[in-house]
Amino acid sequence: MTVNTAVSVCPHDCPSACPLVVELPEPGRIGRVHGGDMAYTEGVVCAKVARYAERVHHEGRLTTPLKRIGPKGEGRFAPISWDEALDEVASRFKEAAARLGPQTVWPYFYAGTMGHVQQSAINRLRRVMGYSNQAKTICSAAASTGWVAGTGAKWGVDPREIPESDLIVIWGANPAATQVHLMGLISQARKARGAKLVVVDPYRTPTAEKADQHLMLRPGTDGALACAVMHVMFRDDLADRAYMSRYTDCPERLEAHLKTRTPQWASAITGLSEDEIEAFARLYGTTKRAYLRSGYGYSRSRNGSVNLHAVSCLPAVSGAWAHKGGGAVQSMGGVFDIARTLLDGLDVPAPKVRTLDMSRIGPVLTNDPKDLAGGPPVTAMLVQNSNPAEVAPDSGLVRAGLARDDLFLAVHEQFMTATARFADIVLPATTSMEHADLYTSYGHTFLQVAKPVIAPIGQARANHRVIADLAARLGAIHPGFEMDEWEMIDQVLVASDLPGADELHVLGGLDCAKVFEDAHFLSGFGHDDGRFRFAPDWGMDGLPELPDHLAVTDEADEEHPFRLITPPSRHFLNTSFTEMPTSRSQAGRPTALLHPEDCAALGLAENGLVAIGNRKAEIRVHVRPTAGVARGVVAVEGIWPDAFFEGGKGINHLTSADPALPGGGAVFHDTKVWLKQVKPS
């Protein structure tokens, strides 16, 4: 039997932004989801999205607006109409603004959808109404700061060059679990050219298991490793001095600085042996077609930006940028030149408002004067595309803020998340299968659009419509509020000198890749002088002038002898997909990965319970001994809902809201903890 299909795009916060082919077995229902035709993704889609019908048609989907009838956080609500719900939100926003000024309202969002129309609508309302601004720091801020500090631009070498590489270095990423398409390209290079794969990561990920060399360094010490590698390249005459003379700012200063950053020095900091460091340095320094894929993992430390800048210096010292299949990438997001005026309301004069750090939502909502930046307390919020009660650092503080009786909270969501349980009004949201949007990527170079493939489930409404309906009640005027989604997509594309929405939909995507010279920065790096900066302008004192190890992390001590890292699970995406039975079944349960010798010292056996704690909280999880974690490190994969932990507290109750230096960023992998055996009762 022939099954009807429609095309779509995956909206989730993943580098691949996959084109999709969606089976439509009957009206209003999707079936199996397959990968669409694209040169980068090549028809492959992850298992989570392949079974997306399980999420779209989940019995737990929110399908009607709700009003709280019990205490905050308890989760008791009664159905109401859309008009009642929006009238209530608008009325409470007006009351709050009249009492304390518009900055008391904080629209909060992030990447629950990566579609530009649905994600950005909240920014347009914020700008027109003069509500508090938001620093989007929770994921990419530290990494972007570190990368741009050196390159001056937010792009790198197209991953489609990997099949022409002789060495691939995956640093702080786990594409075998989170970006399968990258692993396909690596496999091509290994088969065709005998390319080597090196993985730098504090624990043995599925990607590290496939590597020729796994450098299992201590968390937060990546800068030290990078400096030692460059030391060896200078020492052994493997540095490309001609390239540096033409394309970099101060190679002589760098060489002199690195004379003391020896493998012996780095070994003491990283926990790697001198031999491991020497071997990697020689391999990298002697391989001109060396491709370095920098992930986000190692930027989630207080020194993450400095570490990432140090790593980004490697291809500038080796000259790998000049070669096909050589160079590096951290994000490809900068290849898309999208006119954002209409999306974000940039044609409205910028109001003089404070900017609140989304990663510090706990201190903000508990009225830390420094975080409030001289403004009023936040007394009204609209949350879209995010679940800060579980995703943001320092969950206990976040929940204390969300539980305030004087805070009015509206949450627009697909499921009853932990954040939604604190809401006064809950609004049901569409999935990407039920609305149109415009998509870029940070892993490839294809611009895509998508139309809805089914009607909204129940009374669910898209972000764009909800914001427009709310704007009408608030008296917010802007052309974007008057357009439907497809019209906005078309106008954004036309303003960007790109094919219109209908044409782009027929094309199936537009490749925005840069030419070789620009992608490899042979036409100059993004700074005014066109040079890579070994000596970046950090914009603050106290950071190293040149690549170095910045010792500001939450180091283990006598009271807290372990370092905690919280890498993603391949079965979830933050807290998205945690509601899907198959994902839960495959993920098992929250588990602490711990070295067998550490387990023995603590009296822990496989499947036994361990308490992990610090001065913020104590959580309890089951243990899995593994030699794939260094001594003194504990890894807990995935952001499971709190209810799945013994004792009801999840992983982010332990993490800190301290900002990464210099520009902020969540430090999820930078936490010192103690571990104790939990004896059976």
- How does pLDDT run across 85-113, given as a tens digit for each residue? 999 999 999 999 999 999 999 999 999 99
**Residue 509, CB half-sphere, CA atoms under 13 Å: how many?**
25
| Three-class DSSP category at 199 | strand
Cα–Cα distance, 146 to 148 (Å, whole number) = 6
Bridge partners for 242 per DSSP = none
CB 571 within 8 A of CB 10: no
pLDDT digits (tens, 9 = 90+) for 525-569: 999 999 999 999 999 999 999 999 999 999 999 999 999 999 999
Taking the C-alpha atoms of residue 426 and residue 420, their distance in angstroms, rounded to an integer, is 6
Note the pLDDT of residue 177: 86
Which residues are registered as beta bridge partners of 620? 611, 646
Helix (H, G, I), strand (E, B) or coil at 8: strand
pLDDT at 1: 62
Contact predicate 154/378, CB 8 Å: no
Residue 370 burial (CB count, 10 A): 9
Looking only at Cα atoms, what is the longest distance across the chain? Answer: 72
**Per-residue DSSP letter, 651:** G
Rounded-to-integer distance, Cα 618 and Cα 613, Å? 4
Whole-number pLDDT of residue 3: 87
User: Tokens representing 69?
Assistant: 């009838």
Question: Residue 423 contacts by C-beta under 8 Å, 6 or more apart in sequence?
Answer: 68, 383, 409, 410, 411
Bridge partner residues of 248 (DSSP): 532
Q: Dig out the tokens for 670 from the structure.
A: 């930078």
Distance CA 258, CA 493 (A): 47
The CA distance from 51 to 37, in Å, is 18
The residue count for the chain: 681
What are the DSSP E strand ranges found in 343-495? 355-357, 380-384, 408-413, 425-428, 437-439, 446-450
**Is the separation of the CB atoms in 85 and 77 below 8 Å?**
no
Does residue 180 contact residue 573 with C-beta atoms inside 8 Å?
no
What's the rounded Cα separation, in Å, for the pair 640 and 660? Answer: 24
For residues 547 and 226, the answer to whether their CB atoms sit within 8 Å is yes
Q: Are 18 and 35 in contact (CB under 8 A)?
A: yes
Contacts of 440 (CB under 8 A, 6+ apart): 17, 114, 116, 333, 336, 338, 447
Q: What's the pLDDT at 543?
A: 98
The pLDDT, as a whole number, for residue 679 is 86
CA dist., res. 384 & res. 466, Å (int):
10
d(CA 164, CA 291): 9
DSSP 45: -
CA distance 531 to 521: 9
d(CA 632, CA 655): 17
- pTM (predicted TM-score): 0.97
Specify whether the CB–CB gap between 639 and 572 falls below 8 A.
Answer: yes
Q: Which amino acid, one-letter code, is at 566?
A: T
User: For the CA atoms of the chain, what is the radius of gyration?
Assistant: 25
What letter represents residue 460's amino acid?
Answer: A
593 and 647 in contact (C-beta within 8 Å)? no
How many CA atoms lie within 13 Å of 534's alpha carbon, on the beta-carbon side? 23
Structure tokens at 447: 């611009």
- Record the tokens describing residue 322, joined without a space: 């000049």
Phi, psi of 134 (to 5 degrees): -135, 130
Distance (Å, rounded) from C-alpha 94 to C-alpha 96?
Answer: 5
Predicted local distance difference test score (pLDDT) of residue 2: 79
How far is Cα of residue 409 from the mean position of the Cα atoms in its chain? Answer: 24
Q: How far apart are CA 394 and CA 373, in angstroms?
A: 20
Average pLDDT of each block of 10 consecutive residues along the chain (681 residues)?
91 96 97 96 94 98 97 96 98 98 98 97 98 97 98 98 98 92 96 98 97 98 98 98 98 98 98 98 98 97 98 98 98 97 96 97 98 97 98 98 98 98 98 98 97 98 98 98 98 98 97 98 98 97 97 98 96 94 95 98 96 98 96 97 95 98 97 94 68
Amino acid occupying residue 8: S
pLDDT for res 680: 76
Q: Which residues make Cβ contacts (< 8 Å) with residue 133, sequence separation at least 6?
A: 126, 353, 354, 355, 356
The token duo for 195 is 């390319």
Residue 547: strand, helix, or coil: coil
- Measured CA to CA, the distance from residue 518 to residue 164 in angstroms comes to 18
Residue 678's nearest CA partner among 625, 613, 588, 630 is: 613
| Cis peptide bond upstream of 662, omega within 30 | yes
Q: How far apart are the first and last CA of the chain?
A: 57
